Amino acid sequence: MATPVIIDCDPGIDDAIAILLALASPELDVLAITTVAGNVPLANTTANGLRVLDLARRADVPLAAGATRPLVHVPAGDSSETHGETGLDGSGLPDPSRGPVAEHAIDLIARLALAQPGEIMLAAVGPLTNVALLAALRPEAFAALRGVMVMGGAASGGNMSPYAEFNVWFDPEAAERVLQSGQNVTLVGLDVTRQAILNATDIDALALLPQLGPAVAGMLRFYMRKHVHWYGEEIVYQHDSLAIAQLIDPAILSSRHCHVLVDTGLGPARGATLVDRLGVYGGTPNARWAETVDVERFRSLLLQRLAALAASL
């Protein structure tokens, strides 16, 4: 039976690919998409989620907009340099054919979670603001989720500061709130997502796909510019797709149950995730921390599923 999933996201180019991967996979039943401010402002992440659903011809999947800003501090920047001003630059996708549903993201997640207690996985691949608000405002619904698969965190080097990964950096208080929640939380951090790579040849192959090719390859080529600038290689990290892939095929990642703490101070390590792999702090384990990734298994899954989706449209 397919796992029911809600994707909370901030599309975002890698979010867009992650949504397509989920929609392409019979192992998952995508019940809804919810959006949050992150890579770009909420109006853009919401429009982009709808543009991707249009691309995949999934008018049946509701999309609800959530938080317009982080819980406490509004950070100095976003990721528009990486994803473009729209958040999906290079995709060439038209404006969405519809708007979000009237329900707030938190109300939509709560309603669905209570209708299927213990069954729904929440894939959180943007800042954790919506998830923290759900935990605070609708604790019974939050507890009714089967778990939360988060793309976030970094143990050995960030992408927004030497220590902080973007999703946690953008709203550290929300991430800490989620980690303290007692929910079944898995963190898929940069240590593994930086191994989840597509290269220029992969993108050239994706460009040939019917229906999806121009949009998918166009946005990935845009996304690659920043990667070339930062890492000197013609690659793109598929951060968010790795979290989705783990829901499709749990053999892709191995993880360790340990205590993870977020630095919510205002100093240079704000947004850092302190991952106590050895249990030296004595904190109770509160998350599964992804440690190893089967890179080839992930890459072939992603490429095959995008091809299958394209062929089905």
3-state secondary structure of 27: coil
Partner from ligand BDR, Ca ion, none binding residue 263, C-beta < 5-8 Å depending on class: none
* Amino acid letter, residue 58: R
Distance in Å, CB of 282 to ligand BDR, minimum? 29
- Residue 298's H or E segment, with its range, is helix 295-312
126 in contact with Ca ion (CB under 5 A) = yes
Distance in Å, CB of 1 to ligand BDR, minimum? 28
- Strands (E) in the chain, as ranges, are 3-9, 28-35, 63-65, 121-124, 147-151, 185-188, 197-199, 235-237, 253-262, 273-276, 287-293
Nearer to Ca ion by Cβ, of 10 and 89: the residue is 10
Distance in Å, CB of 249 to ligand BDR, minimum? 20
Stretch near Ca ion under the rule CB under 5 A, chosen from 11-19, 85-93, 115-123, 245-253: 11-19
Nearer to ligand BDR by Cβ, of 141 and 272: the residue is 272
3-state secondary structure of 297: helix
Partner from ligand BDR, Ca ion, none binding residue 165, C-beta < 5-8 Å depending on class: ligand BDR
Question: Rounded to a whole number, what is the distance in angstroms from the first to the last CA of the chain?
Answer: 23
Stretch near Ca ion under the rule CB under 5 A, chosen from 126-134, 174-182, 258-266, 288-296: 126-134
- Binds Ca ion by CB under 5 A, chosen from 4, 12, 84, 158: 12
Distance CA 152, CA 14 (A): 13
The residue with its CB nearest to ligand BDR is: 166
Q: Which of 73, 83, 229, 239 is catalytic?
A: 239
- Contacting positions for ligand BDR (CB under 6 A): 12, 14-15, 39, 79, 82, 125-126, 151, 159, 165-167, 239-240
Phi, psi of 221 (to 5 degrees): -65, -40
Distance in Å, CB of 48 to ligand BDR, minimum? 11
Nearer to Ca ion by Cβ, of 61 and 128: the residue is 128
Nearer to Ca ion by Cβ, of 144 and 190: the residue is 190
Stretch near Ca ion under the rule CB under 5 A, chosen from 27-35, 113-121, 122-130, 175-183: 122-130
Find the largest Cα–Cα distance for the chain. Answer: 53
DSSP letter, residue 96: P
Distance CA 240, CA 187 (A): 11
Distance in Å, CB of 191 to ligand BDR, minimum? 11
Number of residues that bind Ca ion (CB under 5 A): 6
- CB-based contact 187:287 (threshold 8 Å): yes
Pure H helices in 67-212? 80-83, 105-115, 129-137, 139-143, 166-170, 172-179, 190-193, 200-207
**Sign (positive/negative) of CA torsion 151, 10, 127, 109?**
negative
Distance CA 39, CA 166 (A): 9
Residue list 213-272, contact with Ca ion (CB under 5 A):
240
Distance CA 151, CA 15 (A): 10
Distance CA 70, CA 10 (A): 13
Is 259 an active-site residue? no
Distance in Å, CB of 239 to Ca ion, minimum? 7
- Binds Ca ion by CB under 5 A, chosen from 4, 6, 8, 15: 15
Query: Known catalytic residues?
Result: 239
* Binding footprint of Ca ion on the chain (CB under 5 A): 10, 12, 15, 125-126, 240
